Amino acid sequence: MYSYKSTLITTFLILLLLLTASTKAQFLKDNLIKKGQEELAINNFTGAIKYFNQELETNPDNHLAYYLRGIAKHELGDKVGAYNDFSSTIYFHPGFSMAYYKRCLLKLDFKDYYNALTDINKALNYNVTNTDFYVARGYIYCLLNDTTNALHDFNTAIFLEGTNGFAYLNKSVLEADQKHYDKALANINKSISLLQFLPNAFVIRAFIELNIKDTIAAIKDYEFIISKDSTCVLAFYNLGLHYLGLNNFDKTINYFNKVIELNPFHSECYYNRAAIYVQQTKYVEAISDYDHVIKINPLNINAYFNRAYVKQLMSDYSNALNDLGKVIDLYPKFQKAYSLRSHIYSQLNNFEASEKDRKFANLLYNIRDDSLAFNKSDSIYLLPLLDFRSESQAMDTSSGHVQYKSFKIMQKDNYSLIPENSSNPLSFYNMQIELLNQNRSINLKLKIDNNDTKLSYDNLAESKTLLDSLSSHNKSLKESNCIWKCILSSSLKNYREALLSISQVSDTSVYSYLATFLKGNIYIEIGQQEEDTKNKNNLFDNTNSSTDDYKNYTQAINEFTASINKNGKFSFAYYNRAFTKSLLNDISGALLDYSSCIFFDNTNGNAYYNRGLLHILTSDYQNACSDFSKAGELGVSEAYSLLYKYCTK
């Protein structure tokens, strides 16, 4: 009853072949564009995005800036952001063929095949001689089972450019899928001779060699790939499939284990390994592997069905029925699901239900031999239900340094007012800040930032001593001195003196919203310090925290609220209040405050980043991916690791 899932050779059509095509746009001589281009050339994609952002600030209709930024975003794994930028390119320059091409590739990633076809046709309308466009369209035709048009496009690409290795590669895949192995072998050899080392080309050739019974050559190709690229998942996986065909389960399991080590999201490998475990009556291990498949794709009906089959072998009829119910909910025409459920009902002596399912299963069988057969009416509908993730490369998110379940680690530092040696204050946010920069004699500038100060403890202490010696000549200077004393005392962790200093700012002062803002920051620091101390003292104590443990966070929220009441457009107060609410697990309140922060300052990348993290926590991946895309665009590089982890499936 269980079955293996084999990788069809058509899935080897490597999107890489489309993505590595050279960008043929003519770059403007504008300085920012040139600088961005230079960053692209050295693979500094986040640096390139910053230059393109600057260009778009002054020239918001510059189609080339959008296009190049889209390329940088795509390289960073931000597919949604890249898609939006290519769409903007097309909006401002409807005849830009490469933008249609790049957007087409992204639509393929999103499995939007028909709209991808529309885009590639547009690209060809504007540039009828670009062979990469024909290769892309042929690829789409293959996905839509239109082999005649696919072959025509690959031949056209070869006619126009006899050195296009990817055209030969795709033609080879198509011919192998049609079992024309001699032609396929000739074309893959031509592709390999034209392209630099491309592991997947050798994988395809090995596949063809296995089908013409040239096992020695196939194994040699696989070993060659692994010697050149020890992380090539496809090589290990196909070797596993080869030994699976020989019923050599020990070698198969070894290779499958290697695949999963390289790519823990390779659902097809879990699926096939589970089938082996079933044959070996290792039912618990099989269930675990099917669990992985379903976790990766919660819509995979084959995994639910096979898990149900194993559960009924273990006499776990109740859970088996739950799985079959899920299958039928997702795809009511799955004939085998009704047959198996009928069998289970009979085991439970529920003969009425069993007979009902048996009759419906027979009806489906008579209508069509295979209830999962692909046809034009069902293919798009069935696609997500049968989808397996089987990427050719390992997925590595270790560079993200983000523990998404821990707010203490995942949140960016809260904003604070700090002294810094700088020539230009960030007066963009509040005009009043400029008035606080009157103490030129100690060379301090006030700015709002979330970076740690580079001033040493001695520098801070010296600055505070110098500040204390200054005389107050007017009210505003006196209040600015109080704010500076608060900042410096807080930096020295002298919170009592900091609170005393800031309390001297009048509630009617134009700086009162800054004063309450600073007080909120101090209470956050006190709360975190107390929490850290308690965690150290109670390292082996599992008692729950009391409400009193969070009173400083509550007080911080009250101060930020007071700051907002005094200056409703002060975006950082919303940001810090959101941060504090997240510490108290008030997710909905934190989301609302981050949104308010963004409303008043849509250039705050950290606010987008943190809001995206909260969306992840609530499983709202669509909005999370949108926020990470914007955060990355605004310079928060950590966002790209999360985009890759959560937004590329």
Summarize pLDDT for 392-403 with one digit per residue, the tens: 433 332 222 222
Question: ∠563-567-572 over CA atoms, to 5°?
Answer: 65
In one letter, which amino acid is 390? S
**Tens digit of each residue's pLDDT (9 = 90 or more) over 232-256:** 888 888 888 888 888 899 999 999 9
Does the model's pTM come out above 0.75?
no
Question: ∠278-282-288 over CA atoms, to 5°?
Answer: 85
* Residue among 606, 587, 584 nearest 597 (CA): 606
* Residue among 319, 265, 316 nearest 293 (CA): 265
Kindly report the average pLDDT of the chain as a whole number.
Answer: 77
Q: Which of 41-45, 87-91, 128-132, 383-387 has the lowest mean pLDDT?
A: 383-387
Q: Can you list the domains of the chain with their CATH numbers?
A: 300-390 (1.25.40.10), 407-538+546-601 (1.25.40.10)
Give alpha helix (H) positions in 470-540: 475-491, 495-502, 512-537
**Tens digit of each residue's pLDDT (9 = 90 or more) over 110-141:** 888 889 999 999 999 999 999 999 999 999 99
Return the higher-pLDDT residue of 20 and 106: 106
Average pLDDT over residues 259-283: 91
Length of the chain: 649
Q: Tell me how crowded residue 490 is: count the other CB atoms within 10 A of its CB.
A: 25
The answer to whether residues 643 and 60 touch, using CB atoms and an 8 Å cutoff, is: no
Question: What is the C-alpha radius of gyration for the chain, rounded to an integer number of angstroms?
Answer: 31
So what's the pLDDT on residue 388?
A: 66
Q: Which of 6-20, 74-88, 209-223, 478-492 has the lowest mean pLDDT?
A: 6-20
